């Protein structure tokens, strides 16, 4: 267990922490869900994101070499890009409807949580770059890591986004801030729609170009 006191361990954890807190599709999904649907729905979206993160961490830890020899990541990029663009289109359609008030939002907090869970999973899995990123930062670690240490490291790297998104939800649902966010919720939807749309197109184009270059 001396490994956890080494600079290599803290280097990996710090890099992963900053990667997690950087704004991306996951965070904007959480923010939008917290504002438009409430804490409970946002927690389900977070659970989905954590499940997706765990899947990519397992891939990054144990299967990156095998899968990198195939077109797996390119196919995921193309499908993921299409999904994010679909999400952007759904947000665009929702903007045509009357935007929910605070009271309406609270009434819809108990809607289909499985939808929030699946959105979190698919949004996270739509980007296949995390396992590649994980494999890069893990290259800083000794090649002789035991399975037990790898599992502990995997758990820690799963807990970091879980704690971070929990804090994000708490901040964005504080009543004083919540009323401000609700006032600008349509603009927030525009921003999220733009991020999902542009990121989706970028992922799909990148996946297609890489796929054809391998063919």
What is the rounded (10 degree) CA torsion for 132, 50, 121, 124? -40
pTM: 0.76
Residues 6+ apart with CB under 8 A from 14: none
Q: For residues 190-198, give the mean pLDDT.
A: 85
* Count of Cβ atoms closer than 10 Å to residue 122 Cβ: 19
pLDDT band at 164 (very low <50, low <70, confident <90, very high): very high
The answer, yes or no, to whether residue 148 has pLDDT greater than 80, is yes
95, 190 contact by CB (below 8 A) = yes
45, 173 contact by CB (below 8 A) = no
pLDDT for 102: 47
Q: For residues 90-114, give the mean pLDDT.
A: 62
The answer, yes or no, to whether residue 128 has pLDDT greater than 60, is yes
E strand map for the chain: none
Alpha-carbon distances, residue 53 vs 73, 108, 128, 158 (angstroms): 15, 27, 10, 7
Question: From CA 77, how far away is CA 83, in angstroms rounded?
Answer: 10
Question: From CA 137, how far away is CA 16, in angstroms rounded?
Answer: 8
Mean of pLDDT over the chain: 80
The answer, yes or no, to whether residue 92 has pLDDT greater than 90, is no
Q: For residues 100-110, give the mean pLDDT.
A: 49
By the 10 Å C-beta count (0-12 exposed, 13-18 middle, 19+ buried), 54 is classed as middle
* Count of Cβ atoms closer than 10 Å to residue 140 Cβ: 12
Question: From CA 40, how far away is CA 194, in angstroms rounded?
Answer: 25
Question: From CA 178, how far away is CA 128, in angstroms rounded?
Answer: 33
The DSSP call for residue 2 is: G
Question: From CA 34, how far away is CA 171, in angstroms rounded?
Answer: 10
The DSSP call for residue 5 is: G
Nearest of 41, 207, 193, 24 to residue 124 by alpha carbon: 24
């Amino acid at each position: 267990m001396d490994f956890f006191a080494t600079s290599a361990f803290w280097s990996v954890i710090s890099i992963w922490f900053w990667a997690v807190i950087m704004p991306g599709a996951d965070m904007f999904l959480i923010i939008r869900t917290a504002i438009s649907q409430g804490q409970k729905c946002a927690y389900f979206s977070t659970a989905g994101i954590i499940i997706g993160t765990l899947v990519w961490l397992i891939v990054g830890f144990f299967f990156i070499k095998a899968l990198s020899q195939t077109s797996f990541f390119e196919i995921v990029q193309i499908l993921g890009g299409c999904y994010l663009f679909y999400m952007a289109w759904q947000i665009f359609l929702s903007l045509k409807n009357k935007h929910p008030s605070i009271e309406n939002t609270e009434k819809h907090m108990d809607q289909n949580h499985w939808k929030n869970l699946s959105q979190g999973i698919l949004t996270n899995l739509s980007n296949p770059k995390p396992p590649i990123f994980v494999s890069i930062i893990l290259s800083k670690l000794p090649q002789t890591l035991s399975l037990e240490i790898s599992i502990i490291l995997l758990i820690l790297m799963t807990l970091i986004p879980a704690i971070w998104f929990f804090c994000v939800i708490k901040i964005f649902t504080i009543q004083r801030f919540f009323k401000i966010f609700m006032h600008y919720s349509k603009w927030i939807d525009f921003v999220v729609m733009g991020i999902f749309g542009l990121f989706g197109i970028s992922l799909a184009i990148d996946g297609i170009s890489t796929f054809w270059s391998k063919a």
